[in-house]
Structure 1
Amino acid sequence: MSVRLSLLAILDRGACYGSQLRAEYERRTGARVNVGQVYTTLERLERDGLVQGAGIDDEARVLWDLTDDGRAEARAWLSGASLVEGRDDVALKLALAVTLPGADVPGILSVQRDATRAALAEVDEELPDAVPAAIVRAARRERLEADLRWLDEVEELAAGAESFDLSEDRPRRGRPARNAV
C-alpha cells in the first residue's frame, strides 16, 4: 500500500501534523511507518501540489491539509482497484538461480519455504485488536499461504530447467573502459 496515498486519504478527514498522521496510519492499518518517512512524504506531496501548510496548532506543530488536487487524488485512489504489482524479487531470484550452473535451487527453495512458514507463524500469533488490523493480518496470511503453494509450483518447474553459461552473442553497445588504449 502506498504510504503517500494513504496519507492523502487520512488528510481528507482533516488537517493533521506529521506525528499525528503516523499514528493515524498505524491505528487504521496496523502497519508501522517511520515518522521520518511521513515528513519526507509530506514534503514531496507539498512539492507536487497535493498538500499545503494549514498553519500551526496550539502546541506549535505544523498542520497539513489537502489541496483540491490532493483531495481528488485521494478519492480516486480509494475508489479505484489496487493490484499487487511491480518487481517480484523472490521470483526473479529463483528464475535466475535455475539458469546458473551450480546454484542449489532445492536449497534456495527450502530456505525460502522456511522463511515463509516462519512469517506465517508470526501472522498467526498476532492478535488484532481492531478490524483494520485484522484485515491487514488476513491479507498477509493469504499471501503467505499462496507463496507456499507457488513455491511448490516453482519446485516442479525447476526440476525440468537446465542451467546455462553466458551467451556467446555480445550486445553491440557497452560502456568502454575508462582508459581504453
Structure 2
Amino acid sequence: MSIRHSLLALLQDQPRYGYQLRAEFENRTGTTWPLNIGQVYTTLDRLERDALVARDGDDGNGHVVYSITAAGRAEIREWFAAPVERNNPPRNELAIKLALAVTVPGVDIQAIIQGQRMASVRALQDYTKTRRETASSQRSVDTAWLLVLDSLIFQTEAEVRWLDLCEARMIQQAQGK
C-alpha cells in the first residue's frame, strides 16, 4: 500500500494535519488497514522534502497543517492513471505457512487447511454482512468502504477456493504414495 500516495490523494480535498489524514484514511477504507501515526508524520516529512506538500502553518491547536503542491497534484494524477504493478507479489502468510507445513515432518496439513477454511468462511460471512448493512447508505464514504469490502470478499472467496485446491492436492499426493 502506498501511504505516500494515499496521503496526497486525501490532501487534494483540503489541507489537513497528520491525525486528520489518518482518521480520513481509516474512515474511507473502513479501518481495514490502520495507519500508524508515526508513519503518517514520517511520510509527510518526506513529502515535504520532495516538495509534494507544503506546511500551511498551525491550526491554532498546535497541529501543523499540510497542503498539496502542484508537484504533488501531478504525482497523484500519475498514480491514479497508472495500473498497480505486480512485480513483487505481497507476502502471503498463509501460502508460506502451508508451503513450510508440507515440508516439515509431523505437521497435520489437513488440520491447518480445515482450521483456515473455517476462519476464512467466518471472515467471508462477516464481510458479506457488513457489506449488506453498508450498501443501504448513500454516502460517498460508504461507496469507498463498499469497494474495499468487495475486494475483501473476492480475496476471501479466492482463498477458500485455493484451500479447496490445496486439500485436493494433499489427498491426491497421499493416494499416490
Are the structure 2 counterparts of residues 110 and 83 from structure 1 closer, same or farther at C-alpha, using a change threshold of 3 Å? farther
Aligned partners of 2:170 and 2:45: how far apart in 1? 46
Q: Which moved more, 1:145-154 or 1:56-65?
A: 56-65
Moved over 4 A (4+): none
2:114 is aligned with 1:102: no
Query: Looking at CA atoms only, which structure, 1 or 2, has the larger radius of gyration?
Result: 1
SS of alignment partner, residue 103 of structure 1:
coil
Are the structure 2 counterparts of residues 118 and 147 from structure 1 closer, same or farther at C-alpha, using a change threshold of 3 Å? same
2:40 is aligned with 1:28: no
The match for 1:147 among 154, 159, 176 is 159
The AA in structure 1 aligned to 2:53 is V
Query: Which residue in 2 is equivalent to 1:133?
Result: 145
- Could you tell me the percent identity over the aligned residues? 43
TM-score by length of 1: 0.76
Q: Please state how far the C-alpha of 1:48 moved relative to its aligned partner.
A: 4.5
Number of residue-to-residue matches in the alignment: 162
CA contact (8 A) 1:98 1:161 kept: no
TM-score by length of 2: 0.78
Aligned partners of 1:62 and 1:94: how far apart in 2? 46
Q: Unpaired segments of 5 or more residues in structure 1?
A: 163-181
- Superposed, 1:13-162 pairs within 5 Å as 13-31=13-31, 32-82=34-84, 85-126=89-130, 127-128=133-134, 129=137, 130-161=142-173
Q: Map Cα deviations across residues 150-170 of structure 1 (whole Å, 9 max, x no partner).
A: 1101112233458xxxxxxxx
Q: Alpha carbon RMSD of aligned pairs, Å?
A: 2.3
Aligned partners of 1:111 and 1:68: how far apart in 2? 51
Q: Which has the higher helix share?
A: 2
